[in-house]
């Protein structure tokens, strides 16, 4: 199961962000695919369980064939909102709930299959047998092509790996948050041939002022001049250089920013520049 080298995250496309009209969302889908970004990352909870349906309506109006794009979605979080009678945020990974969530996502996205289904966050009550039963059922019925997890540690992945079903892990990773480069997660994923996606790949670089970001900005500014690129492209290229072939999930709704993100795939930082950025992030020389 392949994706585009940059994935477009849809969390802020709907009421949780830009609140695009149907035609505006259709336009962004078409521009994304034109750029080369053919994979769209969803979760059932986005927009309080409304964004998938908005996207589905918009994609239906587009000129794009379904077999030219890939849909990712996530399930498992029971969110408190108008559409759910929940009294507390919780997780549900029962066979029945996973299957029901996927069937709802298929309906909302107006598609016959999901390319990649991710369990959104780990639950202390996960039963691997129930999850495997749901996955096997969905695979047999050709409703899901590939399975994975999001925000899982390696031990939590191992809990579900007895049937060799887990092919993906989507986790937070950026120059601001390089933890996964040191905690053994990526090493184990590479060893077990589990593919990587990184959400929030720009970290908080553009969101807040901090001593860490001040250090990073000095190096990024110099490298922008050296490579003749934008700041966001340097940050993405830093992630893309990792041998784990991490695929960034970018949350921008700007076609210009999407194009910049896609072009970062062709930016190959030299090894010393990569470590200059890491040193700036850590605040000390690499041990």
Query: What is the H or E stretch that residue 135 is in?
Result: helix 128-140
Measured between alpha carbons, how far is 267 from 209 in angstroms, rounded to an integer? 26
| Cα angle: 231, vertex 74, 136; to 5 degrees | 135
Catalytic pick from 46, 49, 205, 262?
Answer: 46
- Number of helices (H), then strands (E), belonging to the chain: the values are 11, 10
Q: How far is CA 122 from CA 41, 86, 109, 171, 194, in A?
A: 18, 19, 24, 12, 17
What token pair was written down for 277?
């950025």
Query: Which of 161, 152, 89, 160 is CA-nearest to residue 122?
Result: 152
What token pair was written down for 178?
């390089």
Measured between alpha carbons, how far is 11 from 200 in angstroms, rounded to an integer? 11
Measured between alpha carbons, how far is 75 from 97 in angstroms, rounded to an integer? 9
Contacts of 9 (CB under 8 A, 6+ apart): 41, 199, 249, 250, 251
Measured between alpha carbons, how far is 39 from 48 in angstroms, rounded to an integer? 22
Measured between alpha carbons, how far is 85 from 78 in angstroms, rounded to an integer? 10
Measured between alpha carbons, how far is 199 from 171 in angstroms, rounded to an integer? 6
Count other C-beta atoms under 10 Å from residue 85's C-beta: 8
- Mark whether 46 is an active-site residue: yes
Q: Name the residues annotated as catalytic.
A: 46
């Amino acid at each position: 199961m392949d994706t585009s080298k940059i994935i477009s995250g849809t969390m802020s496309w709907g009421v949780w962000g830009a609140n695009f009209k149907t035609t505006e969302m259709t336009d962004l889908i078409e521009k994304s695919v034109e750029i080369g970004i053919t994979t769209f990352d969803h979760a059932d909870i986005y927009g309080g369980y409304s964004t998938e349906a908005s996207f589905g309506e918009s994609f239906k109006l587009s000129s794009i064939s379904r077999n030219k794009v890939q849909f990712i979605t996530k399930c498992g979080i029971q969110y408190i909102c108008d559409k759910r009678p929940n009294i507390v945020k919780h997780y549900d990974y029962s066979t029945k709930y996973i299957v029901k969530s996927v069937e709802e996502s298929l309906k909302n996205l107006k598609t016959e299959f999901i390319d990649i289904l991710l369990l959104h966050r780990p639950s202390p009550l996960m039963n691997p047998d129930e999850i495997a039963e749901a996955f096997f059922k969905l695979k047999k019925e050709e409703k899901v092509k590939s399975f994975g997890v999001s925000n899982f540690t390696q031990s939590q992945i191992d809990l579900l790996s007895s049937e060799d079903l887990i092919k993906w892990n989507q986790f937070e990773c950026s120059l601001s948050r390089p933890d996964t480069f040191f905690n053994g997660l990526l090493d184990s994923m590479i060893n077990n041939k589990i593919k990587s996606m990184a959400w929030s790949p720009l970290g908080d670089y553009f969101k807040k002022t901090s001593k860490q970001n001040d250090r990073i900005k000095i190096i990024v500014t110099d490298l922008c001049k050296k490579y003749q690129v934008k700041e966001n492209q340097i940050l993405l290229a830093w992630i893309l250089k990792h041998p784990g072939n991490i695929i960034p999930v970018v949350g921008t709704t700007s076609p210009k920013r999407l194009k910049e993100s896609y072009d970062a795939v062709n930016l190959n930082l030299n090894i010393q520049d990569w470590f200059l950025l890491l040193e700036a992030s850590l605040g000390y020389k690499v041990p």
